[in-house]
Structure 1
Amino acid sequence: MKSKKVTRRSFLSTISASTVAVAATGAGISGFTPVFGNSRDTADKLAVLGGSPVRGNKKWQNWPQWDAEKFNPKMNEVMANRVWSRSHKVAEFEKKWAEMHGSKHCLSTVNGTNALSAAWMQSNIGPGDEVICSPYTFSASIFGILYKGAMPVFADIDPATFQIDPEQIKKKITPRTKGILPVHICGYPSDMPAIMKIAREHNLFVVEDACQAHLAEIGGKKVGTFGNAGCFSFQASKNLPIGEGGGILTDDTEYYDRLYSYHNFGYASGSVSGQISSITALILANKIRMAEYQAVIGLCQMEKLEEQHKIRNENGAYLNEKLSAYPGITPVKLHKGATAASYYIYAMVYNQDKLDGLPRKRFIEALNAEGIPVGTGYPNDPLYAQPMLQEVFKSDIYKKFYTTDDLNFEKYKQKNHCPALIQTFNSALWIWHGGLMLGSKSDMDDIINAVDKIHNNVAKLK
């Protein structure tokens, strides 16, 4: 259909008799006018009830992807050279990743978790300090904060964008606040201009968790380049998949030198100067270097990343436009100023009241049966309530620098409770499959038609 809107009369005149019967008996959503992806009849019996799925036997694109004919010779070359530890290929990867983002420096690491940890380990934050964090994330986001003995403080999210709310950040600032950890969850950008304004006003260190947000932008500026550091993951599911791998972007040369030294046994590097020796460590450090073969995989994947990013955003915009017409599901919004998401995950907000009380679990079952891989995202287990933190609070360093009241875990959970986060746990829909957002318009139409099919059969699902 060429028109984005379809009148009730034209809708009924163009579909099958079975659909007319469904509409007449009230099986669909009362008063709702659907917007098809490709004008197909979606009044068929739902797959979850024994009908044929919208996707049939079609498969989504495989992920991760590897062009063996093109890329195997590059991998074979580095393996044959037998220089497998960090060398020229890692340096080349770092240079290209920094250039792609318009950043001065990139330091690669073995994985994204270590990138995040290193970024905090080389900050000036320590025991007794507080870091304001997004609660809608994976536990690895805050490991480095805990390694430094600092206290994570959680500011609630905007449930429409899934991102940490700058207004909630302001409410959590105390004289002990020294940093902010925004997380560009699902590949949607956090409101970095607003967050950096707060950071400048209070002299706060900012580490962006951009592990899911490759090439996402705000005003044409890439996420990961707003804060003091921006951290990325190249784990196998990510938009730039290496298998394992991580990277840290920064424009601060002195900080970069410390990061480089830290990831390489604490040896001398730039401003971290001293007697250069293969056995002399100048700072307490780690060994988290990326290997040459990791870098080769990353360089190969980088060749097509920008083209894939464009496709993901075109498909994301198409789905946003079409799916926003359906009651009960609302595509996650980009905040004002954001110019591109990464669409690592295509996310929506579910409202069962607008779908005649259809439970989210039943909606998910029906959509999965039609061949659309959708789930709830992170389980209903707030990071600020996880046992890991309680164990950390029992450690000697936390007992030394924090009061008994600070370390009372029940009080900590109450103090950090985030109502919008809990709301999101109970309403989020994640379409998560690495190759899905690289599909054709026909693939996107399958998603739309599957949603439409459910809307036409809500009464039968309940």
Structure 2
Amino acid sequence: MEETKEQLNRRTFIQTLSAATIGAGLSAPTILTAGADTAKPALLGGPKAHPGQFPQWPIFDKSEHSALSETLESRHWGRLNNNSTVKKFEAEYSRLTGAERTLAVSSGTSALYTILGALDIGPGDEVVIPVYTFIATYNVVALNYALPVFVDTDPESFQIDASKIEGALTKNTKVIMPVHIGGSPADLDRIIPIGQRAGIPVVEDACQAHLAEWKGKKVGTIGLAGAFSFQSSKNLNSGEGGAIITNNSKFADACYDFHNQGRGGNTSGFLAGSTGTRGTNLRMTEFQGSLLRAQMARVNAQTKHRWENAQYLNKMLAEIPGITPAKLHAGTTMSAYHLYMFRYNKAHFAGLSREKFLEALTAEGIPNSPGYGRMNSETYVTALAGNRHYLSVYGEKRMKEWLEQNQCPQNDHLTKNESVWLFQTMLLGSRQEMEQIVEAVRKIQKYAKELA
């Protein structure tokens, strides 16, 4: 049967559009057919929106094999040698981030712990942190017997609510430690001046934010120092590992001393004398350094790919009532998108609970998570008020006040009802896969009543 003029025009349009997108290096867009548009969600017996598999992580090739083999055969497995691979990594990471100095350490937690150690944070001190973060941000404060003071979340961005930081400061506040959650910068234009006015250093927990930028500068270079993680899920990874970057050479030396048993050092070993009165061993191994040098060859391209896919996803998901992608603060010129975060409003999905929405999304072949919870309400955290060491240092009255002041109602609502995460490996997929994510959400919304 001959095609009608309308069918011929449509076919020509699709072919032209496909050729243009492929020529630009993008995958051709998915043209949803009438059948696909009415397909039921997978939970109701329909086909999966994403039947394939998102890119696996980590990505590696012969470069990593060669790097590890060379380190093995060198017989120099620790960084204290004259031709240290870790030292080479530090120089390369400084160039990558634009920082004056880099110190490689054993983990992101070690990076934060080293920074606080170099600042001599201890009992009686307070450190301001966001409530919406990984537990390590809290742990490094508690490990120093300082008091972690939680600040509520800005639900639109999932970042620390900068408008509430000043109210959390006391005469005992020694550090403000915002976290660039999901790889997107916190509102540094508001946070840095707060620290400057109060004479309190701002330390950036950038553990999820490799190559993220604020007004063209890499995060971690804007406060006193930035901490990064190279744990296996991170956008730049060596299984475990971390780094501190700073533009303050004196502070970099203090961090080196702390992570090296309180001793200064050079490539051949330990030197007598140091700054501070305490330290530990948080050194990175040569194996980690060699892996990171190989992984860095891909990190710029991968960051750009995630950013472009996230912008594409933002535009499509924002058109769906009840789905609101996380806001980027105005100074953001690049997000690392370690996490792709959005808010879900069940009122636009016939009252379908977030838990059921996530279950339906999983059935469509779209991995997801509800994200962080209410850290300030976890027994692990609230039990600090009864810890004998804290009672000895701060007293029962102060610890009771601490529990009361750590209420974070905005975070409670976000984490109980709205927050949804997708993951960085998904953003390394194709444009078509981004469209399949959107197709899955649209299917769930269309059949929300039945799913509920």
Q: CA deviation at 1:113?
A: 0.9
1:152-207 deviation per Cα after TM superposition (whole angstroms, max 9, x unaligned): 11111110000111111022122222211101111111011210010000011221
Counterparts in 2 of 1:22-421, with a 5 A limit? 38-40=31-33, 41-56=36-51, 58-67=52-61, 69-86=62-79, 87=81, 88-269=84-265, 276-277=271-272, 283-378=277-372, 380=373, 382-395=374-387, 397-408=389-400, 411-421=401-411
SS in 2 for 1:402: helix
Contact kept? 1:121, 1:147, Cα under 8 Å: no
Query: Partner of 1:7 in structure 2?
Result: none
SS in 2 for 1:374: coil
SS in 2 for 1:284: coil
- Unaligned ranges ≥5, structure 2: 1-9, 11-28
Aligned AA (2:72) = M
Asked if residue 449 in structure 1 is aligned to residue 423 in structure 2, the reply is no
Aligned AA (1:113) = T
How many residues are paired up? 416
Segment drifting more, 395-404 vs 364-373? 395-404
Share of identical aligned residues, percent? 38
Aligned AA (2:235) = N
Query: Partner of 2:429 in structure 1?
Result: 439
Aligned mates of 1:461, 1:397 — CA distance in 2: 50
Contact kept? 2:385, 2:403, Cα under 8 Å: no
Aligned mates of 2:354, 2:174 — CA distance in 1: 39
Query: Partner of 1:424 in structure 2?
Result: 414
Q: CA deviation at 1:282?
A: 7.4
Aligned mates of 1:417, 1:351 — CA distance in 2: 23
Aligned mates of 2:276, 2:185 — CA distance in 1: 37
Aligned mates of 1:117, 1:414 — CA distance in 2: 26
- Unaligned ranges ≥5, structure 1: 1-13, 15-35
Aligned AA (1:74) = A
SS in 1 for 2:397: coil
Contact kept? 1:37, 1:322, Cα under 8 Å: no
Cα-Cα RMSD: 2.1
Q: CA deviation at 1:396?
A: 5.3
SS in 2 for 1:93: helix
SS in 2 for 1:375: coil
Aligned mates of 2:95, 2:139 — CA distance in 1: 28
1:58-83 deviation per Cα after TM superposition (whole angstroms, max 9, x unaligned): 1111101111x333122211111110
Aligned mates of 1:123, 1:142 — CA distance in 2: 16
Segment drifting more, 217-226 vs 122-131? 122-131
Normalised by the size of structure 2, how large is the TM-score?
A: 0.88
CA separation of 1:359/1:394 partners in 2, compared to 1, >3 Å: closer, same or farther? Answer: closer
Aligned mates of 1:266, 1:174 — CA distance in 2: 30
SS in 2 for 1:70: helix
CA separation of 1:44/1:282 partners in 2, compared to 1, >3 Å: closer, same or farther? Answer: closer
Query: Partner of 1:27 in structure 2?
Result: none
Aligned mates of 1:386, 1:457 — CA distance in 2: 35
Contact kept? 1:42, 1:456, Cα under 8 Å: no
Normalised by the size of structure 1, how large is the TM-score?
A: 0.86
Segment drifting more, 198-207 vs 123-132? 123-132
Structure with greater helix percent = 2
Aligned AA (1:49) = L
Segment drifting more, 383-392 vs 438-447? 383-392
Contact kept? 1:367, 1:451, Cα under 8 Å: yes
SS in 2 for 1:460: helix
Q: CA deviation at 1:89?
A: 0.7
Contact kept? 1:121, 1:144, Cα under 8 Å: no
Q: CA deviation at 1:125?
A: 3.2
CA separation of 1:390/1:353 partners in 2, compared to 1, >3 Å: closer, same or farther? Answer: closer
Aligned mates of 2:111, 2:305 — CA distance in 1: 28
CA separation of 1:200/1:128 partners in 2, compared to 1, >3 Å: closer, same or farther? Answer: same
